């Protein structure tokens, strides 16, 4: 009698044994009765979760591809839109480049130039409908850019780990002669003091690979700076602002390819 009762009802373990594998060996057990419904619901939930994760990952990948551009030589990504330190207006990227040193062309940092789009369109309206090749040969276009009648922003991303003093010295070497040519004897000492203050912003122990340095300046001649996400106090100096952007857009840029890339981005922006 006992054996018949056991055979009719079975134990929980017996029921587990009678569960059969899911269709096509997908690994989900399928049982009769309420167990079948519960497992089926679980299966649908898992499949829905997998689908959600897959679609979400795809959307993120597409968004990343659309929202960034890569500097071609270094592969460093740059967001298409960037809000500079001390500002609330998003700036748009117009071009990228890479800073290289020595005969071995060692990559030091990648850079991208951003502009206030509305300000740029208004200020550069006289250059609308001109091709990139025409703008590249037009010296008045460069002078107009360096007048900083609209806000421009430089984003630098280190591709090597460099001693902070070396970074500060490199900028000093590039900026000092440009600032000296631009000032008179009466205000030379003031501007050199400004340069020393700016240099101090970069004199950190080490500027590690991936560190972001951002400079932004506009019509007011106020330079906003951030190093590794830490904002520095603004510096009021039109001379320093002009000299800084002249390093990338002037007659003797640190990267001719970078300058061409930047100029090539303006026709689409200003129409």
Q: What is the pLDDT of residue 39?
A: 45
- CATH assignment of the domain containing 264: 3.50.70.10
- The residues near 35 (Cβ < 8 Å, ≥ 6 apart) are 15, 19
Q: What is the mean pLDDT of the chain?
A: 82
Residues 26 and 56 both lie in one domain: yes
User: Does the pLDDT value for residue 108 go beyond 60?
Assistant: yes
The total of other beta-carbon atoms located within 10 Å of residue 55's CB is: 10
Q: What is the pLDDT of residue 1?
A: 45
Indicate whether 177 belongs to any domain: yes
In whole angstroms, how large is the CA radius of gyration of the chain?
30
Residues 87 and 41 both lie in one domain: no
Residues 52 and 85 both lie in one domain: no
Binning pLDDT at 50, 70 and 90, where does residue 185 land? Answer: low
- Of 40-49, 74-83, 105-114, 175-184, minimum mean pLDDT range: 40-49
Residues 53 and 112 both lie in one domain: no
Residues 139 and 256 both lie in one domain: yes
Show the domain range for 22: 11-64
Indicate whether 3 belongs to any domain: no
Residues 75 and 146 both lie in one domain: yes
**What are phi and psi for residue 263, nearest 5 degrees?**
-65, -35
Residues 55 and 129 both lie in one domain: no
pLDDT tens digits, 112-122? 999 999 999 99
Residues 167 and 260 both lie in one domain: yes
Q: What is the pLDDT of residue 270?
A: 95
Q: What's the Cα-to-Cα distance from 269 to each of 11, 64, 88, 128, 130, rounded to whole Å? A: 75, 21, 20, 9, 11
Q: What is the pLDDT of residue 105?
A: 81
Indicate whether 6 belongs to any domain: no
More confident call, 76 vs 44: 76
Binning pLDDT at 50, 70 and 90, where does residue 66 land? Answer: low
Residues 182 and 164 both lie in one domain: yes
pLDDT tens digits, 26-65? 343 334 444 454 444 444 433 333 333 232 233 323 334 4
Indicate whether 235 belongs to any domain: yes
Q: What is the mean pLDDT of the segment spanning 226-255? A: 96
Indicate whether 4 belongs to any domain: no
Q: Which of 46, 64, 82 is the last residue of a domain?
A: 64
Q: Which of 64, 79, 109 is the last residue of a domain?
A: 64
- The residues near 135 (Cβ < 8 Å, ≥ 6 apart) are 127, 141, 263, 266, 267
Beta pairing, strands 206-207 & 162-163: antiparallel
Q: What is the mean pLDDT of the segment spanning 139-156? A: 97
Pair of tokens at residue 76: 């460093």
Q: What is the pLDDT of residue 186?
A: 56
Indicate whether 1 belongs to any domain: no
Q: What is the mean pLDDT of the segment spanning 72-95? A: 96
- The residues near 261 (Cβ < 8 Å, ≥ 6 apart) are 95, 96, 97
Q: Which of 64, 81, 102 is the last residue of a domain?
A: 64
Indicate whether 106 belongs to any domain: yes
* d(C-alpha 203, C-alpha 195), whole Å: 12
Q: What is the mean pLDDT of the segment spanning 263-271? A: 96
Indicate whether 16 belongs to any domain: yes
User: Does the pLDDT value for residue 74 go beyond 60?
Assistant: yes
Residues 76 and 156 both lie in one domain: yes
Q: How many domains does the chain have?
A: 2
Residues 52 and 79 both lie in one domain: no
**What are phi and psi for residue 52, nearest 5 degrees?**
-60, -45
Q: What is the mean pLDDT of the segment spanning 200-206? A: 93
Residues 37 and 91 both lie in one domain: no
pLDDT tens digits, 7-32? 444 444 444 444 444 444 434 333 44
């Amino acid at each position: 009698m006992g054996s018949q009762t056991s055979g009719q009802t079975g134990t929980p373990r017996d029921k587990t044994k009678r569960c059969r594998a899911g269709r096509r060996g997908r690994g989900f057990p399928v049982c009769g009765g309420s167990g079948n419904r519960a497992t089926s619901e679980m299966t649908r939930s898992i499949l829905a979760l997998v689908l959600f994760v897959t679609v979400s990952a795809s959307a993120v990948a597409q968004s990343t591809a659309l929202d960034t551009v890569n500097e071609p030589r270094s592969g460093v990504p740059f967001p298409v839109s960037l809000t500079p330190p001390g500002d609330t207006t998003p700036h748009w990227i117009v071009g990228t480049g890479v800073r290289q040193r020595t005969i071995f062309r060692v990559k030091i940092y990648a850079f991208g130039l951003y502009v206030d789009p509305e300000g740029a369109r208004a200020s550069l309206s006289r250059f609308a409908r001109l091709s990139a090749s025409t703008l590249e040969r037009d010296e008045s276009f460069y002078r107009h850019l360096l007048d900083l009648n609209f806000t421009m922003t430089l984003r630098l991303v280190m591709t090597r780990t460099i001693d902070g003093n070396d970074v500060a010295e490199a900028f000093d070497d590039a900026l000092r002669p440009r600032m000296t040519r631009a000032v008179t004897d009466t205000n030379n000492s003031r501007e050199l003091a400004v340069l020393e203050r700016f240099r101090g912003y970069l004199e950190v122990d080490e500027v590690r690979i991936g560190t972001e340095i951002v400079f932004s300046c506009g019509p007011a001649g106020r330079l906003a700076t951030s190093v590794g996400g830490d904002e520095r106090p603004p510096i009021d100096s039109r001379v320093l602002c002009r000299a800084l952007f002249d390093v990338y857009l002037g007659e003797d840029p640190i990267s001719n390819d970078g300058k061409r890339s930047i100029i090539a981005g303006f026709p689409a922006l200003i129409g």
